[in-house]
Amino acid sequence: MLSHVTAANRPSMVDVGDKAVTTRIARARAVVAFPEDIAGGKGDPLQTKKGPVIDTAIVAGVLAAKQTHHLIPFCHPIPLEDCSIEVDWNEEDELVIDCSVRATHKTGVEMEALTGAAAAALTVYDMCKSLSHGIRIRDVRLVAKTGGKSDFRADE
């Protein structure tokens, strides 16, 4: 049975009242791929008329992670203790965005990490779309999580 569906097959928020409070940590990643004709930004601060792209994406990602419960149905509001966004160029001239989130709570922070990474990637797209609409956001995924019933670590 799915956790967000009742026995009557209706949507429902998961009751976390009896769960233990533990430190929950999650890291998610999104990759922004640029078309070849505008790639080659390693070391480039990526400035557009809208401003500093990477710095703006970092702020947007943190804000989005903090607002996840407003965006995703049935997500519990979680007081985040830490949220950080790291943005770096990889060997293929793609921006790799990692969002790490931590909270001490009864439920995990995977959705907050995923929302932060995705929002940061969307911000990069928005700020760079005047360069090309061929920019692709791909591989939005959970990389690791600890706390709660089980830990998870993807092959990076």
Catalytic positions, please? 126
Strands 51-52 and 95-105: unpaired
| Ordered DSSP codes for 52-101 | EHHHHHHHHHHHHHHTHHHHSTTPPP---SEEEEEEEE-TTS-EEEEEEE
121 contacts 32 by C-beta, under 8 angstroms: yes
- Cα distance between residue 96 and residue 139, in whole Å: 10
